[in-house]
Protein backbone atom coordinates (compact mmCIF):
# COMPACT_ATOMS: atom_id res chain seq x y z
CA UNK A 1 0.00 0.00 0.00
CA UNK A 2 1.18 3.53 -0.71
CA UNK A 3 1.36 6.01 2.11
CA UNK A 4 0.27 9.66 1.88
CA UNK A 5 2.94 12.33 2.27
CA UNK A 6 2.41 13.43 5.85
CA UNK A 7 5.13 16.10 5.93
CA UNK A 8 2.49 18.76 6.64
CA UNK A 9 0.35 16.41 8.69
CA UNK A 10 -1.59 18.17 11.45
CA UNK A 11 -3.58 15.15 12.65
CA UNK A 12 -1.93 15.23 16.06
CA UNK A 13 -3.65 18.61 16.59
CA UNK A 14 -6.84 17.86 14.68
CA UNK A 15 -8.49 16.02 17.56
CA UNK A 16 -8.01 19.06 19.80
CA UNK A 17 -9.27 21.50 17.14
CA UNK A 18 -12.27 19.27 16.48
CA UNK A 19 -13.04 19.14 20.21
CA UNK A 20 -12.89 22.94 20.35
CA UNK A 21 -15.21 23.30 17.36
CA UNK A 22 -17.72 20.83 18.84
CA UNK A 23 -17.69 22.81 22.11
CA UNK A 24 -18.25 26.09 20.22
CA UNK A 25 -20.97 24.52 18.10
CA UNK A 26 -22.86 23.06 21.10
CA UNK A 27 -22.69 26.39 22.97
CA UNK A 28 -23.90 28.25 19.89
CA UNK A 29 -26.89 25.92 19.46
CA UNK A 30 -27.86 26.18 23.12
CA UNK A 31 -27.65 29.99 23.06
CA UNK A 32 -29.30 30.68 19.71
CA UNK A 33 -31.49 27.68 18.89
CA UNK A 34 -31.87 25.25 21.80
CA UNK A 35 -34.71 23.40 20.06
CA UNK A 36 -32.19 22.30 17.42
CA UNK A 37 -30.64 19.99 20.01
CA UNK A 38 -33.90 18.03 20.15
CA UNK A 39 -34.83 15.31 17.65
CA UNK A 40 -37.35 12.48 17.44
CA UNK A 41 -36.15 9.36 19.19
CA UNK A 42 -35.81 6.32 16.91
CA UNK A 43 -35.06 2.98 18.56
CA UNK A 44 -34.16 1.54 15.14
CA UNK A 45 -31.43 4.16 14.72
CA UNK A 46 -29.61 4.00 18.09
CA UNK A 47 -26.79 6.35 19.02
CA UNK A 48 -24.74 7.45 21.99
CA UNK A 49 -25.81 10.97 20.96
CA UNK A 50 -29.27 10.50 22.54
CA UNK A 51 -29.44 12.06 26.01
CA UNK A 52 -31.49 10.30 28.73
CA UNK A 53 -33.30 8.09 26.23
CA UNK A 54 -34.00 5.14 28.59
CA UNK A 55 -37.70 5.88 29.05
CA UNK A 56 -38.43 7.23 25.57
CA UNK A 57 -40.69 5.74 22.93
CA UNK A 58 -40.26 6.12 19.18
CA UNK A 59 -41.29 9.59 18.06
CA UNK A 60 -40.73 11.23 21.46
CA UNK A 61 -38.70 14.44 21.48
CA UNK A 62 -35.21 13.68 22.71
CA UNK A 63 -32.18 15.83 23.45
CA UNK A 64 -28.99 14.92 21.64
CA UNK A 65 -25.36 15.98 21.66
CA UNK A 66 -22.15 14.88 19.95
CA UNK A 67 -20.59 11.92 21.79
CA UNK A 68 -17.01 10.65 21.71
CA UNK A 69 -16.38 7.45 19.77
CA UNK A 70 -14.27 4.52 20.85
CA UNK A 71 -11.81 2.61 18.64
CA UNK A 72 -12.87 2.47 14.99
CA UNK A 73 -11.51 -0.04 12.43
CA UNK A 74 -13.53 1.18 9.46
CA UNK A 75 -10.66 3.10 7.92
CA UNK A 76 -8.21 0.22 8.01
CA UNK A 77 -10.84 -1.78 6.09
CA UNK A 78 -11.30 1.12 3.66
CA UNK A 79 -7.52 1.32 3.16
CA UNK A 80 -7.41 -2.43 2.48
CA UNK A 81 -10.19 -2.09 -0.09
CA UNK A 82 -8.32 0.72 -1.86
CA UNK A 83 -4.85 -0.77 -1.32
CA UNK A 84 -3.85 2.71 -0.18
CA UNK A 85 -3.60 4.36 3.22
CA UNK A 86 -6.26 6.92 4.10
CA UNK A 87 -4.92 10.31 5.20
CA UNK A 88 -4.90 10.44 9.01
CA UNK A 89 -6.91 13.70 9.03
CA UNK A 90 -9.83 11.84 7.47
CA UNK A 91 -9.54 9.05 10.02
CA UNK A 92 -9.48 11.52 12.92
CA UNK A 93 -12.31 13.64 11.53
CA UNK A 94 -14.77 10.77 11.18
CA UNK A 95 -13.60 8.70 14.16
CA UNK A 96 -13.66 11.33 16.90
CA UNK A 97 -17.42 11.83 17.45
CA UNK A 98 -20.83 10.36 16.84
CA UNK A 99 -22.97 13.28 15.77
CA UNK A 100 -25.57 14.63 13.42
CA UNK A 101 -24.17 16.82 10.63
CA UNK A 102 -22.88 20.19 11.88
CA UNK A 103 -23.81 23.41 10.03
CA UNK A 104 -21.20 26.15 9.93
CA UNK A 105 -20.16 29.25 8.03
CA UNK A 106 -16.80 30.09 6.53
CA UNK A 107 -15.29 32.84 4.40
CA UNK A 108 -16.41 30.73 1.44
CA UNK A 109 -20.05 30.52 2.56
CA UNK A 110 -22.46 28.08 4.23
CA UNK A 111 -21.48 24.46 4.77
CA UNK A 112 -22.34 21.34 6.70
CA UNK A 113 -19.63 19.19 8.26
CA UNK A 114 -20.53 15.56 7.63
CA UNK A 115 -20.64 13.30 10.68
CA UNK A 116 -21.79 9.78 11.56
CA UNK A 117 -24.64 8.94 13.94
CA UNK A 118 -23.87 5.29 14.73
CA UNK A 119 -21.98 2.24 13.48
CA UNK A 120 -24.49 1.53 10.71
CA UNK A 121 -24.04 5.11 9.55
CA UNK A 122 -20.27 4.54 9.61
CA UNK A 123 -20.68 1.59 7.26
CA UNK A 124 -22.81 3.75 4.97
CA UNK A 125 -20.04 6.36 5.04
CA UNK A 126 -17.47 3.68 4.17
CA UNK A 127 -19.49 2.71 1.09
CA UNK A 128 -19.83 6.36 0.03
CA UNK A 129 -16.14 7.12 0.55
CA UNK A 130 -15.18 3.99 -1.37
CA UNK A 131 -17.51 4.94 -4.23
CA UNK A 132 -16.07 8.47 -4.28
CA UNK A 133 -12.50 7.10 -4.33
CA UNK A 134 -13.22 4.65 -7.15
CA UNK A 135 -14.85 7.40 -9.21
CA UNK A 136 -11.73 9.52 -8.69
CA UNK A 137 -9.55 6.67 -9.92
CA UNK A 138 -11.73 6.10 -12.95
CA UNK A 139 -11.44 9.79 -13.86
CA UNK A 140 -7.67 9.69 -13.17
CA UNK A 141 -8.03 12.46 -10.59
CA UNK A 142 -6.11 12.85 -7.31
CA UNK A 143 -7.59 10.77 -4.50
CA UNK A 144 -9.60 12.84 -2.03
CA UNK A 145 -12.24 12.26 0.61
CA UNK A 146 -15.19 14.56 1.32
CA UNK A 147 -15.78 16.07 4.76
CA UNK A 148 -18.43 18.74 4.11
CA UNK A 149 -21.14 19.88 1.74
CA UNK A 150 -21.41 23.51 0.64
CA UNK A 151 -24.59 25.49 0.10
CA UNK A 152 -26.38 26.58 -2.00
CA UNK A 153 -24.16 25.18 -4.78
CA UNK A 154 -24.07 21.60 -3.40
CA UNK A 155 -20.32 21.33 -3.80
CA UNK A 156 -17.99 19.39 -1.53
CA UNK A 157 -14.99 20.15 0.62
CA UNK A 158 -12.50 17.32 0.26
CA UNK A 159 -9.18 16.43 1.86
CA UNK A 160 -6.48 15.58 -0.68
CA UNK A 161 -5.23 12.16 0.37
CA UNK A 162 -1.57 12.95 -0.39
CA UNK A 163 -1.12 16.50 0.86
CA UNK A 164 -3.89 16.82 3.46
CA UNK A 165 -4.96 20.10 1.83
CA UNK A 166 -8.65 20.99 1.79
CA UNK A 167 -10.10 21.59 -1.68
CA UNK A 168 -13.45 22.71 -3.07
CA UNK A 169 -14.80 20.16 -5.54
CA UNK A 170 -17.89 19.48 -7.59
CA UNK A 171 -18.89 15.83 -8.21
CA UNK A 172 -17.17 14.36 -11.26
CA UNK A 173 -14.84 17.32 -11.78
CA UNK A 174 -11.20 18.02 -10.95
CA UNK A 175 -10.55 19.91 -7.70
CA UNK A 176 -11.49 23.55 -8.33
CA UNK A 177 -9.65 25.58 -5.68
CA UNK A 178 -7.69 25.11 -2.49
CA UNK A 179 -9.58 26.23 0.61
CA UNK A 180 -6.98 25.60 3.33
CA UNK A 181 -3.58 24.03 3.86
CA UNK A 182 -5.16 21.49 6.19
CA UNK A 183 -8.46 20.44 7.72
CA UNK A 184 -7.09 21.56 11.08
CA UNK A 185 -6.52 25.10 9.79
CA UNK A 186 -10.00 25.20 8.25
CA UNK A 187 -11.81 24.00 11.39
CA UNK A 188 -9.95 26.61 13.42
CA UNK A 189 -11.47 29.48 11.41
CA UNK A 190 -15.05 28.41 10.66
CA UNK A 191 -18.00 29.48 12.82
CA UNK A 192 -20.94 27.36 14.00
CA UNK A 193 -24.34 28.20 12.57
CA UNK A 194 -27.87 27.23 13.60
CA UNK A 195 -29.10 23.81 12.55
CA UNK A 196 -32.67 23.15 11.49
CA UNK A 197 -32.86 19.50 12.67
Tens of pLDDT, residues 84-127: 999 999 999 999 999 999 999 998 899 999 999 999 999 999 99
Confidence (pLDDT) at 172: 87
Q: What string of pLDDT tens digits covers the 197 residues of the chain?
A: 444 444 334 556 999 999 999 999 999 888 887 777 889 999 999 999 999 888 889 999 999 999 999 878 899 999 999 999 999 999 999 999 999 999 999 988 999 999 999 999 999 999 999 999 999 999 999 999 999 999 999 899 999 999 999 999 998 899 999 999 999 999 999 999 975 54
For residues 53-68, one letter each, b for 16 or more C-beta atoms within 10 angstroms of the residue's C-beta and e for the rest, the string is beeeeeeeebebbbee
pTM above 0.85, yes or no: yes
Domains of the chain from N-terminus onward: 11-192 (3.40.1580.20)
CA distance 113 to 170: 16
Alpha helix (H) residue ranges in 33-182: 74-82, 88-95, 119-138
CA distance 128 to 166: 18
Alpha helix (H) residue ranges in the chain: 11-32, 74-82, 88-95, 119-138, 183-189
Confidence (pLDDT) at 9: 44
Confidence (pLDDT) at 12: 61
Amino acid sequence: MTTPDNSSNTSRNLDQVLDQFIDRWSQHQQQHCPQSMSIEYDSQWPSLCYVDSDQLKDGDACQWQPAKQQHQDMFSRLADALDEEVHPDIVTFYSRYWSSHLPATSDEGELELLQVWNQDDMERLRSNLLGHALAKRKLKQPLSFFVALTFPDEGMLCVDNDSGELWYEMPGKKPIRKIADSLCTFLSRIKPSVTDN
